[in-house]
Chains A and B, each alone.
Chain A
Amino acid sequence: MLLGALCVLLLAGGLPWGGVEAVYGGGLMRVLGGLAGGAAMWAAWRLSAGHRLRMLVGLIALFFVVSGVGVLLHCGEKALHCASLGGGMWFGAVGMGCLAVVGVLFSVIFGYLAHLCLRVEKLWLAVAHLSIVLVVAGTFVDVCCEERLAVTRHVGVPSVVHGKGADKLAPFEVEVKDLHVERYASSESYTLLVHRNGRWLPVAVAKREGASIRCGQEVWPVEKLRALPGGEGRYLALPGSPVRVLVQQPGQVKEYRAVCRLSPMRGEGEARDVTLRVNHPASWDHWQIYLMNCSADGRRVQLLLRRAPGRPLVFAGLLGVLLCCFAWAFRDKRSTQA
């Protein structure tokens, strides 16, 4: 099975310009995913020394451990929130705190049970295989249920048109109120263009020196540059013949920041302002809003609205795989084979 998966991946790696999506979307990877899930269950059974009941109890116990941690985190957060409100909400805070303690008890009791059932020295491996099942399951859920909407928005222009998929609507509207594009100052450059035979030809590269720009013996103050109409950067028309112009190419983008207003589609609930940055998506009712890009003129932004129900499963699985790998490599030094 692993060899089969490897072959498909080799095919995907060897043909990056096409076919990968088809291979994945065509169902082959899903079949392999199902097989991998089955293989992981089989491995867990083997690790529990062939006792099916023991394996079942161990896996159920592990499920309760994960649930307990989830309850602890969720209720702990709620308890803190209630406590911060004060007054009568203290009762709620105490209740939530009790539930969080139940989460701790769940984790401890069922963790111990899982520890007993799945054998001490192999527990990490069992959890690793279970984590791979989680990743596969989360991916499968996302393949089936994920919703993605690519949206282009003009800055400051309210719009009700919602992405390319008119049949798929997010439960909120996005309006980009403002866009800030920060650039690396040291990466801007200046080119001297000359108009000859009906064309603008670059003849020299100018260099910025403090508040002035120098090209050979000629020096111009930076403040005289004016905004280039319909584009990024600035320019300075130079007198004399032939006609010359100094053009500033803007520096490399350091960061995009889009201030957006998220409002519910049917007027239910309150609108909320969020600042989107690359790597920092915002959330709204299980949807993530990503800033993907902005146009060269800085007036349009590309957003991605995404609802991926399998995401928590995948993240939990990745975390499990990671922890188990480190535990296996650094803790379980006695065994040399997985």
Chain B
Amino acid sequence: MGFQGQEIDTSMSTIIIILTILSALLFAAAGALLLVRRGAVGGERVLGVGLVCCVLLLAANAWAAQAPPLGNMRHVLCALPLLLAPVWVYLRCSGVQAGAGIAGVAAVALIGALCMPLQAGWRQAPALQSAWFVPHVTSYVAAYAMLTLSALYAAGAWGERQIPRLEAAHSLARLAFPFLTFGLCSGALWADAAWGRYWAWDIKEVWSLITWLIYLIYFHAPGSNAAKQRALLLLGFAAVLVTFLIVNMAPLATNSLHTYAR
């Protein structure tokens, strides 16, 4: 369970697990409440409490790691709900009720975090000690969170709600794209400083470029064919899943330069 066979502080591990479960339950409850009654004040309050729990979870992870807790899959999944909070606020200000979707994505992310090894003793490797570490990972996680929501809207864009949902999906993808670009560019600049090359054809790099290109094609696609828009958004989300999950977990990625992201 521990990283490199080291002992894990049991009490801290227990706190992290309890906070993860509590946050996941709160998000699930908020999602259910908001799904039953759109914009319900109670549901939004539960969502807010869940976000507060997530802040505590992030602090616990940071305390255990003694570094910004963004170094492995579990850390990133625990941080993902917090990056959805500004998106929630932005969408609320734009008149889009996305609380249920946001709560659902946050709950799924935290359930995923519970399935990952705890690695409470994770320590930053020398290559990760860079000023790029936090902005690079944060921008990617923020972009992936928004693209997940965008895909949810695109998948639900059928019948009467097709046009407004596709518009919401487009707005989210448009908001996410600069962050995706920042992740790609900052990764190149960081790789140049750490590995002596800005592009190494690493599997994670290649798939992140594929994801970026799919969204680039989406924004360049002429016309407003709803089916085409929906297909491209879902294809882009599939690429996000490959980049974020499958590439990290697949055995063929053992030689990847991003193995510490597991």
Q: Which residues of A contact B (CB under 8 A)?
A: 2, 5-6, 9-10, 12-13, 16-17, 20-21, 24, 139, 148, 184, 186-187, 189, 205, 207, 249, 252-256, 277-281, 288, 290, 292, 304, 306, 311, 314-315, 318-319, 321-322, 325-326, 328-330, 336-338
Contacts and interface: CB of A to CB of B under 8 A. Distances in A.
A24 B199 CA distance: 12
B185 interface: yes
Nearest to B7: A207
Contacts of B177: 325, 329
A329 B175 contact: yes
B214 to A, nearest CB: 8
The 10 closest A-B pairs by CB, nearest first: A16-B203, A13-B206, A278-B126, A338-B219, A325-B178, A325-B181, A318-B185, A279-B130, A20-B201, A290-B196
Contacts of B174: 329, 336
Interface string B1-28: 0011111000000000000000000000
B38 interface: no
B194 to A, nearest CB: 5
Contacts of A17: 252, 255
Contacts of A6: 210, 213-214, 217
Given A6-B213, A304-B196, A336 B129 contact: no
B256 interface: yes
A217 B219 CA distance: 68
18 contacts: A2-B217, A6-B210, A13-B210, A16-B202, A17-B252, A21-B201, A187-B121, A189-B4, A189-B7, A205-B5, A249-B5, A252-B4, A253-B126, A254-B123, A279-B194, A321-B185, A325-B177, A325-B178
B252 A337 contact: no
Contacts of A189: 4-7
Nearest to A148: B196
Contacts of B206: 9, 12-13, 16, 20
Nearest to B181: A325
Given A9-B213, A187-B6, A281 B181 contact: no
A23 B199 CA distance: 14
B216 interface: yes
A256 B126 CA distance: 7
A139 B217 CA distance: 22
Nearest to B199: A139
B182 A337 contact: no
Nearest to B207: A13
A329 B126 contact: no
A280 B209 CA distance: 26
B244 to A, nearest CB: 14
A16 B252 contact: yes
A322 B126 contact: no
A298 to B, nearest CB: 14
A280 B175 CA distance: 33
Contacts of B198: 311, 314
A129 to B, nearest CB: 11
Contact of B123 (A148, A252, A319, A337): A252
B52 interface: no
A319 B121 CA distance: 36
A20 B199 CA distance: 12
B222 interface: yes
Given A255-B126, A290-B196, A322 B181 contact: yes
B226 interface: no
B188 interface: yes
Given A256-B126, A337-B219, 15 more contacts: A9-B206, A16-B202, A16-B252, A16-B255, A20-B206, A139-B199, A187-B4, A189-B4, A205-B5, A252-B4, A252-B125, A290-B196, A306-B197, A314-B188, A314-B198
B150 to A, nearest CB: 13
B89 interface: no
Contact of B193 (A186, A280, A337): A280
A205 B207 CA distance: 41
B127 to A, nearest CB: 5
Contacts of A13: 203, 206-207, 210
B189 interface: yes
Contacts of B3: 187
A278 B127 CA distance: 6
B160 to A, nearest CB: 21
Nearest to A290: B196
B253 interface: yes
A306 B196 contact: yes
Given A6-B210, A6-B213, A9-B213, A322 B203 contact: no
Contacts of B127: 278-279
B170 interface: yes
Contacts of B210: 6, 9-10, 13
Contacts of A10: 210
A318 B188 contact: yes
Nearest to B192: A311
A338 B220 contact: yes
